[in-house]
Amino acid sequence: MTATHEATTRPGRPPVVDRATWQAARDELLVREKAHTREGDAIAAARRRLPMVEFDGGTPVVGPDGPVPFTDLFQGRDELLVYKHMWHDGAPFAGQCEGCTVAAWHMKDAAYLNARGVSFAVLTEGAWEEVPPYLDFMGYTQPWYSVRGLDEPIGGEMGHITCYLRDGDRTFLTYDTTGRGTEQLSGSFALLDLTAYGRGEAWQDTPDGWPEGHDPCWYWRSDAEGVNGWGPASRPVPQWSRPGVTPVDPTASHTHH
């Protein structure tokens, strides 16, 4: 029995052409893609030549074993990459930062960083006593630490990717990025950029008559049925797909889970 599929109901889609015409258009775009790759390589080379800033690696941060010096986060390696996760004090799990949840959810395994001599950790401005229940709820296994009350480059503004280098007992800040620079943690964005309809965000440049982009709420928040948006039954999207997810009361506090 031959399967039948309904035509797309979206208002716009790419024109249909023969393979040769498609290949010619693809080859034309490939020239730009290769230039983009080479420029990215050149930027990375310039990034490796940035100066660095020394700071006190003995500054204590709080983790599951209590206060430890920041240098412990290197786990004996020479480099450390962290994501700085925003925190809303006393909020229910569903009320924690949507964008940070997306970033942390993508980075559940640091095996390839570790193999290159780079450790990974998540730093948060939240009080430590609120953090472990959230990690258990999400199923996170990467190390988290509270940097509450600490200044840059250990604490400070959240929503950043920050890189550090250790040279014996000395520690240095080498790189820091925020905004869309943190997209490198979330590989799904780059993959969606390869698809016909892309990310579906409001800023996205799409042909006239195509589905209009909205704000990032499609990946930030949805209800249990996948309907996007903010509401009393919505929560950050990764919270619905975490291992062993079960229905929860999104208005309940941490201590109720």
Show the domains of the chain with their CATH numbers. Answer: 50-183 (3.40.30.10)
What is the tens place of the pLDDT at every residue in 41-89?
A: 999 999 999 999 999 999 999 999 999 999 999 999 999 999 999 999 9
Quote the CA–CA distance of 31 and 42 in Å, as a whole number: 17
Q: How would residue 246 be classed by pLDDT, with cut points 50, 70 and 90?
A: low
The pLDDT of residue 50 is 98
What is the tens place of the pLDDT at every residue in 166-192?
A: 999 999 999 999 998 999 999 999 999
pTM across the whole model = 0.87
Contact between 211 and 11 under an 8 Å Cβ cutoff? The reply is yes
What is the tens place of the pLDDT at every residue in 131-161?
A: 999 999 998 999 999 999 999 999 999 999 9
Q: How would residue 216 be classed by pLDDT, with cut points 50, 70 and 90?
A: low
The pLDDT of residue 253 is 46
Q: How would residue 237 be classed by pLDDT, with cut points 50, 70 and 90?
A: confident
Quote the CA–CA distance of 111 and 115 in Å, as a whole number: 6
The pLDDT of residue 163 is 98
Q: Residues near 36 by Cβ (< 8 Å), separated by ≥ 6?
A: none
Model confidence at 128: pLDDT above 50: yes
What is the tens place of the pLDDT at every residue in 76-94?
A: 999 999 999 999 999 989 8
The pLDDT of residue 211 is 76
Choose among 121, 204, 203, 103: nearest CA to 164: 121
Q: Residues near 247 by Cβ (< 8 Å), separated by ≥ 6?
A: 224
Q: Average per-residue pLDDT in the chain?
A: 88
